[in-house]
Structures are given as C-alpha cells and as structure tokens.
C-alpha cells in the first residue's frame, strides 16, 4: 500500500483528495493535515466522512510527515510549500503540490503575478508540470509535481492540439471561462456569500488573473514561441465546474482555404483518441459542466465560423476533480507505476 499524507485536507481540494483516495485500492491515508483544525476529528469538519474516516486532523509539519509516507499532497495556499521545502524532504518522499508554487518556471513572473517572494526557487527547474496528457513521461520520473490549476487545465487542453499543430494564430487567442464557487476555496469571503453569488454572474481578475501566465507558458511550449492571451474568468452560481470558451483566428492552409471540420477533428483525435480522460464530443455537441461533474473527464469540442475565419473551442471539467484532486491522483498513479485511471473510474453525476 502507498502511504499518503495530505496537507490542507480540510479545504475543498483537500477534501476531494480524501474522497478519491478512500476509494483507491492501492493507497492508505496516514496524515490528515489541517492547520485550522488540529486535534479535531476529520469527520466533524466534513460530516459526509462520518464512519468513513476515523482520524484526527494533524499539523502541517512536512519534515515529520516525510518520514512516515511515500507521497505528500499539498493542497495549500500559494507560498506554503515553497517556504518549507528542503532537499532532505524531497529525498525521502514524492510531492504533488496543488498550489502554484512550482508551476511557473520564471521566478520573476511568479512573484509578479502572485505578489509573494518565492522561498525555494532552486526546485523550480526540476518540478514537472503535471498535466498528464502532455507531460506523462516526465511525470513518471519526477520527485516534485506542480499540479495544474482548474482554469489552466481546461484552457490548455482545449486549445493545445491546434496550437501545437500551428492551426490557429495564437496572437488572436481569447479565453473566456466560467467557474463554480468551489474554485474560490472554503475560506469565508464576503464576495462568496450565498446572497452575493446567487442569481448573479460576474467577471473578476480582468486582465490580471494569476492563471494567465501559466496558460501562456504551457501554450508557448506547444507553439515554440511566446504566447500572450486575453483570459477572463467569471464566477457563476453553481458549486462545481469550469466551462472555457476560446476564440482564435484560423491559419489558412497552403492552398489559401480554411481548415475544414475534418481537418480539425483529425488533429484533436491525433492527440486525444487514446486519452482516457479527454473526450472529444461528436460534431455540434458542445460541452456542458453537468456532463463531467464529479468525474475526472474533460469534454472538448469546437465550431468553425467560416464567416469570420475563426474557430470557437470549448472545454468543460469538474474544477475539484480533473481541475485539482483527480489530476493529483492521476499524477500519483504515474509516479508509482500504477494504472493511470486507478481510483478515478468515476461516472459523471447527473443531474
């Protein structure tokens, strides 16, 4: 059995990790870390775990935890892992970090967008960006996984094949995305109160959302050149889900015509036909968050607008599963040579 510890086990992503790992036949959770609830029964924090988890919340002592487990999941605020990570810890245990501390390779970009000093930049270079569908082989060899965010996972996977194959003009790429409120975390914030969110929809982080450089960096690797996008997230009154709608100008083929539906579909199939968790939908069936809720799937489709010469790409996922905890488990499975879908054979919930 793989022994796992979770730091931040009482946040929404941490709680989702608990739910998934309880159903994983190869894993035993040894440490439920939560700075806010030390010495409290985990099931008293999340009553859905009553008679399922008989454990007390512990602290966030990574040095001690590393001696007791094989893998640590850190579902913590930005800056936590970077402030405590050492070579001694990494030499003893594998870490899957759900924060942004090691996602961005340029430390100056990280500090500019997150407004905090990075305390362990020496580990940035070796950290593997844990988007399994793109970096699977690198993940298998890693000690430190930078688990991608929810907006970024959806945005990148939706556009990646077309960027990689040069079918769109990346200078025209616009990402318009919507998220359920669980993406903002469990902390008490006035903006997330029921009366503030219900019957309301709003854009936030306009032109400065901190997931922007993460999307740009990863799509830049695909394009082989710097990519700059307009990314606008919106908060919608639902618990779970991300829907990204992306727009870009299509590059014409050598004969001067636009790529056809069949051309674009062939490219998506080239990259995703063998991917368990990426579903490219039939023609004119467009992703909905309800179709992926509670699962590790990403649903993707597209529509060519011949009138404007643009393509509209759409992707949907559950922000707490494929956008956080499910992706972390997928990375763990790769790290330990397990079946990649182990513990993630989750049928989407409907309604």
Q: What is the pLDDT of residues 179-222, one digit of tens each?
A: 999 988 888 788 888 999 999 999 999 999 999 999 999 999 99
Q: Please state the φ and ψ torsions of residue 200, each to the nearest 5 degrees.
A: -150, 155
From first to last of its 351 residues, what are the pLDDT tens digits of the chain? 999 999 999 999 999 999 999 999 999 999 999 999 999 999 999 999 999 999 999 999 999 999 999 999 999 999 999 999 999 999 999 999 999 999 999 999 999 999 999 999 999 999 999 999 999 999 999 999 999 999 999 999 999 999 999 999 999 999 999 999 998 888 878 888 899 999 999 999 999 999 999 999 999 999 999 999 999 999 999 999 999 999 999 999 999 999 999 999 999 999 999 999 999 999 999 999 999 999 999 999 999 999 999 999 999 999 999 999 999 999 999 999 999 999 999 999 998
Cα separations (Å) of 38 from 45, 48, 99?
Answer: 11, 19, 21
**Domain identity same for 163 and 300:** yes
**Alpha-carbon gap, residue 175 to 31, rounded angstroms:** 38
- What pLDDT shows up at residue 187? 80
* Domain at 37, CATH number: 3.40.50.720
Among the residues of the chain, which ranges form H helices? 12-22, 42-45, 62-65, 80-84, 87-90, 107-114, 132-140, 150-164, 194-197, 212-223, 261-272, 326-335
Comparing CA positions, the residue from 337, 242, 331 lying closest to residue 295 is: 242
User: For residue 304, what is the enclosing H or E element?
Assistant: strand 298-305
**Domain identity same for 180 and 283:** yes
* Domain at 290, CATH number: 3.30.360.10
- What pLDDT shows up at residue 191? 83
Dmax (CA) for the chain in angstroms is: 69
Q: Which residue has the tokens 């893998």?
A: 71
**Alpha-carbon gap, residue 161 to 334, rounded angstroms:** 22
Active-site pick, 57, 132, 150, 154: 150
User: For residue 97, what is the enclosing H or E element?
Assistant: strand 94-97
Residue 344: inside a domain: no
- What pLDDT shows up at residue 184? 82
**Domain identity same for 156 and 109:** no
**Domain identity same for 107 and 162:** no
- What pLDDT shows up at residue 189? 84
**Alpha-carbon gap, residue 217 to 225, rounded angstroms:** 9
- DSSP annotation of 58 reads B
**Domain identity same for 79 and 218:** no
Residue 137: inside a domain: no
The pTM (predicted TM-score) of the whole model is 0.96
Domain range for 106 is 2-126
Residue 335: inside a domain: no
Residue 343: inside a domain: no
**Domain identity same for 164 and 120:** no
Q: Is there a catalytic annotation at residue 195?
A: no
């Amino acid at each position: 059995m793989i022994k796992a510890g979770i730091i931040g086990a009482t946040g929404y992503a941490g709680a989702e990790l608990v739910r998934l790992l309880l159903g994983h036949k190869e894993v035993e959770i040894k440490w439920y870390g939560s700075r806010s609830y030390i010495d409290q029964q985990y099931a008293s924090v999340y009553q859905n775990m009553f008679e399922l988890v008989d454990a007390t919340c512990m602290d966030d002592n990574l040095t001690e935890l590393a001696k007791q487990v094989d893998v640590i999941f850190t579902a913590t605020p930005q800056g936590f892992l970077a402030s405590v990570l050492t070579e001694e810890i990494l030499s003893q245990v594998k870490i899957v970090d759900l924060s942004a501390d090691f996602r961005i390779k340029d430390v100056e970009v990280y500090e500019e967008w997150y407004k905090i000093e990075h305390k362990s930049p020496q580990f940035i270079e070796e950290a593997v960006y844990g988007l399994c569908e793109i970096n699977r082989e690198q993940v298998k060899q890693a000690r430190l996984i930078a688990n991608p965010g929810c907006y970024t996972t959806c945005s990148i996977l939706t556009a990646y094949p077309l960027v990689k194959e040069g079918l769109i003009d990346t200078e025209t790429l616009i990402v318009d995305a919507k998220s359920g409120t669980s993406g903002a975390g469990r902390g008490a914030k006035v903006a997330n109160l029921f009366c503030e969110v219900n019957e309301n929809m709003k854009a936030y982080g306009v032109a400065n959302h901190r997931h922007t450089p993460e999307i740009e960096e990863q799509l830049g690797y695909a394009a082989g050149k710097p990519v700059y996008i307009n990314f606008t997230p919106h908060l919608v009154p639902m618990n779970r889900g991300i829907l990204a709608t992306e727009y870009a100008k299509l590059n014409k083929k050598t004969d001067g015509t636009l790529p056809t539906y069949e051309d674009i579909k062939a490219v998506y199939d080239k990259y995703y036909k063998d991917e368990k968790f990426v579903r490219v939908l039939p023609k004119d069936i467009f992703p909905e968050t309800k179709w992926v809720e509670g699962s590790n799937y990403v649903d993707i489709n597209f529509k060519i607008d011949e009138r404007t010469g643009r393509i509209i790409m759409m992707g949907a996922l559950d922000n707490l599963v494929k956008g956080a905890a499910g992706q972390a488990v997928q990375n763990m499975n790769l790290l330990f040579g397990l079946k990649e879908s182990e513990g993630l054979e989750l049928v989407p919930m409907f309604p």
